[in-house]
Structure 1
């Protein structure tokens, strides 16, 4: 399986490289020479495979970011070529229908290349904006359980706290919690970006502690796969030191307006010894509201048959960069968004942060605000 993954990545990188080289060659067409064409093709493939080798050999820290970043650049080059080709075809269709001659070939060629630059830069700017400027998605659900007054639950999954997403992002989340008047914040996994190095270097503990102190019922979290890649203990300790209540295969009961609400948290399935959901539910009174934090949405079908009122998940990032969102949708029962299934309500967030590189296209950094109401008697 591991070899199949690496072979797939290698083949994709070569295909991306060929497409990017062809696109750059088109852009340079008015000035191209045989020598320049050779340089373009050689440079693209040397960069691609050089970064791949450095990443596999782990020559420097976070080398995967360089491969991901270069792949994103090539992806945007290809998307630019597709957009410009589509607009060019549309232009000639309109010209042919109205009988106009259009621009001269040289003028049109230069305008198309100028448009390509604008599209390429636009994709970069928009993707950065989508990664760093979150949107609040509002949802109201009703459950058939006792709940005298609505409970306002904020959900921020997949923060991936690290060098590219840290203090500023936590402080922004604190402001969002204050403005939305959330009762609690749930963070279903991937809180850290693999380790606590940046968290400690930039003293994020104080900012996270302030976030926790600003919520009436506090912050509750489970660990995701990126929290379990060899640094589970320091990550868990760092979160607890900041007053985050960790639910690692555990349950916790809060009182909301005199009524009990149960929070159930699971380890990500990267943890092979994790407790089954049904065993965790045996510890709670399921006649009262039950909210589950489960990093991956892979068990939604099973959970829809259990007395769970609300499940919040993340992990998928909604693909993060188009067209991966279509893949996420195809391989998951619910890859992103909200759906009422069976006995419960299910929310899969695209995440508040991002993985690897700070770009989102076809997805958005987000926080969910879920207003849960129940029976008044």
Structure 2
């Protein structure tokens, strides 16, 4: 038993970027097989269009071809090796590996319309009976390859600059019909989707804490996906959160990535930093004789990982005074339908990153009702932040990060 506990502790210390807990071996094998198959297909497509069709002179064609093979293998190999690498070594490698994933996505996205144009040109040639001209086809391949390469590199460069520049504070005013007069001008600083992990560390959090405190908020709300890794690996990096200041407290709800990273340990660790974790519960905030309720629920993925986790809004709102305004912290926007059924005044969410890299924002609605911004579902307002950090590729294209300053106002 002692050796088993020792082995578990060692596993926690070596916890990688994401721990796949609560997933059966067969499902994990299928998932990894699907990811590797898609990755192999995309890398082959990039090689075919940007190396083979262009016809690079020797030895550049072979060098680029093997380079694409190496990049295709880099991500799965790094995922396995990162479990035993110290952060000081893993972090710079993460920038290269995840940076390539972002550039790969942009190349793939830009090649699709380029191939569409080439396909139309080929169809016109066939219908017109024009003889095939290999030289012309290679010219078009080189032209479109150059345009795609330049466009993807430009977008990736902008995306990296976007995440390296100072955090922008986004002001949002939310009118609430039943807001008592003393709460007019009440400020909530929303932090979400920071993803402290491979490429985001202590320096980012120190800047974030300084800007949050400069708002002099009444409440700080951290709406999930704070970390990507175990407490043993990342816990010391979150020390700046202990310096967050708010008149009525700092609150947190779990996101799906907390469950990938050991949610129970993170809930306990955040408490040591002065962060109150709301797990299907509600607190009352009083000001000048008036009151406002603040509630928080678990992420919907929680029940798949821990038996006592998962959202329970009815439990969180049990016994509340319906005349009071209620602000709900819920990581995923799709939880707003139930919130509207329970008469929630305002829901604060994240999760979507606003799409993070265009045009991924067009895929988000397949799972979530809103991508970003302020919306309304019946009598319930919902604000979806684009996120304060980023996940995976260290870049944002068309979806800048935000530290949100939410001010409540009387409708």
Q: CA deviation at 1:125?
A: 2.6
2:122 counterpart residue number: none
2:104 counterpart residue number: 74
1:254 counterpart residue number: 285
2:19 counterpart residue number: none
RMSD: 3.6
| 2:300 is the counterpart of 1:265 | no
2:39 counterpart residue number: 13
1:96 counterpart residue number: none
**Closer/same/farther in 2, CA of residues 28 and 129 from structure 1, 3 Å limit:** same
Q: What is the total number of aligned residue pairs between the two structures?
A: 354
**Residues 114-159 of structure 1 deviation map (CA, whole Å, 9 limit, x = unaligned):** 8766544432331123224333332222222242132111211111
2:65 counterpart residue number: 41
Q: CA deviation at 1:251?
A: 1.2
Q: Distance in 2 between matches of 1:2 and 1:230?
A: 16
**Closer/same/farther in 2, CA of residues 37 and 330 from structure 1, 3 Å limit:** same
Q: Distance in 1 between matches of 2:396 and 2:257?
A: 19
Provide structure 2 residue ranges, at least 5 long, that are not aligned to the other structure. 1-26, 119-135
1:97 counterpart residue number: none
User: Contact 2:280–2:315 at 8 Å: present in 1 too?
Assistant: no
Q: Distance in 1 between matches of 2:340 and 2:157?
A: 40
Q: CA deviation at 1:328?
A: 0.5
Tell me the TM-score normalized by structure 2.
0.74
Q: CA deviation at 1:44?
A: 1.5
User: Contact 1:296–1:313 at 8 Å: present in 2 too?
Assistant: yes
Q: CA deviation at 1:310?
A: 0.6
Residues 70-79 or 256-265, more deviating: 70-79
| 2:327 is the counterpart of 1:295 | no
2:372 counterpart residue number: 336
1:98 counterpart residue number: none
2:255 counterpart residue number: 224
**Residues 14-70 of structure 1 deviation map (CA, whole Å, 9 limit, x = unaligned):** 2321232245427975x524x543443344234314643664687756799576443
2:223 counterpart residue number: 188
Q: Distance in 1 between matches of 2:75 and 2:285?
A: 50
1:131 counterpart residue number: 163
User: Contact 2:50–2:145 at 8 Å: present in 1 too?
Assistant: no
Q: Distance in 2 between matches of 1:200 and 1:280?
A: 28
Provide structure 1 residue ranges, at least 5 long, that are not aligned to the other structure. 89-104
| 2:189 is the counterpart of 1:159 | no
**Closer/same/farther in 2, CA of residues 53 and 188 from structure 1, 3 Å limit:** same
User: Contact 2:280–2:298 at 8 Å: present in 1 too?
Assistant: yes
